[in-house]
């Protein structure tokens, strides 16, 4: 501003006009900016903010989706879900337990498979590209088609049972199929979820490993650092933040994901694979006339709060490791 003023000698009349012109140009620029973001904002206001607001409001009411008015019940839906309702609360607790088990098992399994896989893949030259593509297929195809393929092989007469019998491990086979047996249904789903989340984790580890400067490793080796020390002081510190990111990513995905449960078991057998997301889905869409929409919304928000806590934890941990 000051530079501009000193550059224009006839100081009396010009500055006012210049300031005005600048202000006008600035307003114009703002308008252009708003015009650029307008489609995104409008779409968000309609599809996002409205639905979020509606969902919050509905979580304080009882409604069956058809009657003209809502019955306001305050925090009752939340109380019912957490402890008050003798039928609903135990179901929610069980679903929360299953969700928790799946979250821990999937993230642990993902790290335990993806890390060695990435290290091995990084150590070879031939076929690396091909193998990486093969390992990545589960990620791009994750969805209903793959879930049906898994259901097919996990059936009572499916490939896995037959394979176990043919190699003399018939005692491990499950006559009701792995998804029909209460003891194996949740573990089987966890295995499928790990199978689906290894690709991205492996990719991130691989990217991290490739970012390590080879000359750093060579220098360390020349200074007499053995493999163990090199891994401990060079490789591991680099992999810690990646591991934190992978764990939190798969915790979040497992907590929110219910598609695989909906398609492969729908919570069965006898509620052994009930999870929170599926519970919310059932309360919202499978209760026909009973007034459970408020409860469904409340459960949706409880899941949201849990997701938010994870996100905060995520930010904290990542800051700590950097």
Residues between 266 and 305 with contacts to another protein, criterion CB under 8 A: 277, 280-281, 284-285, 293, 296-297, 300-301, 303-304
Distance CA 119, CA 242 (A): 14
Q: Give the one residue of 5, 19, 75, 149 binding another protein; rule: CB under 8 A.
A: 149
Q: Give the one residue of 64, 176, 235, 259 binding another protein; rule: CB under 8 A.
A: 259
- Beta bridge mates, 61: 72
The nearer residue to another protein, 51 or 67, going by C-beta atoms, is 51
Selection from 295, 248, 249, 250 nearest residue 276 by Cα: 295
Q: Give the one residue of 19, 46, 84, 216 binding another protein; rule: CB under 8 A.
A: 46
83 binds another protein (CB under 8 A): no
Q: Give the one residue of 9, 10, 39, 68 binding another protein; rule: CB under 8 A.
A: 39
Q: Which of residues 117-136 bind another protein (CB under 8 A)?
A: 117, 120-121, 123-124, 127, 131, 133-136
Q: Which of residues 203-232 bind another protein (CB under 8 A)?
A: 203-204, 207
34 binds another protein (CB under 8 A): yes
Q: How many residues at the interface with another protein, by CB under 8 A?
A: 82
Q: Give the one residue of 158, 186, 189, 190 binding another protein; rule: CB under 8 A.
A: 158
96 binds another protein (CB under 8 A): no
50 binds another protein (CB under 8 A): yes
308 binds another protein (CB under 8 A): yes
238-241: list long-range contacts, CB under 8 Å, 24+ apart: 238/208, 238/211, 238/212, 239/115, 239/205, 239/208, 239/209, 240/321, 241/318, 241/321, 241/322
The count of other CB atoms within 10 Å of the CB of residue 244 is 16
HSE-CB for 173 with a 13 A CA cutoff = 18
162 binds another protein (CB under 8 A): yes
43 binds another protein (CB under 8 A): yes
Selection from 189, 121, 119 nearest residue 151 by Cα: 189
123 within 8 A of 205, measured Cβ to Cβ: no
Q: Give the one residue of 1, 3, 17, 145 binding another protein; rule: CB under 8 A.
A: 145
Q: Which stretch binds another protein (CB under 8 A): 1-9, 90-98, 110-118, 176-184?
A: 110-118
User: In the complex, what is the shortest distance from the CB of residue 159 to another protein, in angstroms, rounded to a whole number?
Assistant: 6
317 binds another protein (CB under 8 A): no
- Beta bridge mates, 130: none
The nearer residue to another protein, 82 or 153, going by C-beta atoms, is 153
User: In the complex, what is the shortest distance from the CB of residue 216 to another protein, in angstroms, rounded to a whole number?
Assistant: 21
Q: Give the one residue of 173, 231, 307, 317 binding another protein; rule: CB under 8 A.
A: 307
Maximum separation of any 2 CA atoms in the chain, in Å:
100
The count of other CB atoms within 10 Å of the CB of residue 280 is 23
175 binds another protein (CB under 8 A): no
Q: Which stretch binds another protein (CB under 8 A): 6-14, 114-122, 175-183, 214-222?
A: 114-122
**Distances in Å between the alpha carbon of 242 and those of 111, 236, 239?**
10, 10, 5
User: In the complex, what is the shortest distance from the CB of residue 90 to another protein, in angstroms, rounded to a whole number?
Assistant: 21
HSE-CB for 45 with a 13 A CA cutoff = 6
Cα three-residue angle 35-38-42, rounded to 5 degrees: 160
Q: Return the C-alpha torsion angle 249, 252, 254, 260, nearest 10.
A: -100
């Amino acid at each position: 501003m000051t530079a501009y003023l000193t550059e224009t000698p006839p100081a009396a009349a010009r500055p006012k006009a210049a300031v005005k012109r600048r202000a006008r140009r600035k307003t114009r620029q703002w308008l252009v900016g708003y015009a650029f973001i307008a489609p995104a904002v409008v779409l968000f206001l309609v599809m996002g903010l409205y639905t979020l607001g509606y969902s919050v409001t509905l979580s304080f009411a009882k409604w069956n989706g058809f009657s003209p008015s809502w019955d306001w019940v305050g925090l009752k839906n939340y109380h019912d879900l957490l402890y008050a309702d003798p039928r609903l609360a135990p179901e929610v607790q069980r679903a929360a337990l299953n969700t928790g088990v799946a979250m821990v098992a999937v993230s642990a399994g993902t790290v335990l498979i993806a890390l060695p896989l990435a290290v091995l893949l990084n150590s070879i030259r031939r076929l690396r590209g091909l193998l990486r593509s093969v390992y990545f297929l589960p990620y791009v195809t994750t969805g209903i088609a793959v879930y049906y393929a898994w259901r097919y092989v996990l059936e009572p007469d499916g490939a896995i049972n037959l394979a176990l019998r043919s190699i003399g491990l018939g005692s491990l086979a499950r006559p009701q199929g792995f998804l029909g047996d209460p003891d194996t249904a949740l573990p089987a789903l966890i295995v499928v979820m790990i199978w689906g989340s290894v690709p991205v984790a492996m990719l991130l580890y691989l990217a991290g490993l490739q970012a390590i400067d080879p000359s750093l490793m060579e220098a360390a080796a020349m200074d007499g650092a053995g493999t163990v020390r090199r891994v401990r002081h060079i490789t591991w510190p680099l992999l810690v933040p990646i591991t934190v990111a992978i764990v939190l990513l798969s915790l979040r995905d497992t907590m929110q994901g219910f598609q695989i449960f909906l398609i492969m078991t729908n919570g069965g057998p006898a509620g052994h694979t009930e999870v929170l997301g599926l519970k919310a889905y059932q309360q919202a869409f499978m209760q026909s006339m009973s007034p459970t929409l408020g409860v469904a919304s409340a459960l949706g928000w409880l899941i949201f709060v849990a997701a938010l806590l994870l996100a905060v934890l995520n930010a904290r941990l990542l800051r700590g490791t950097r």
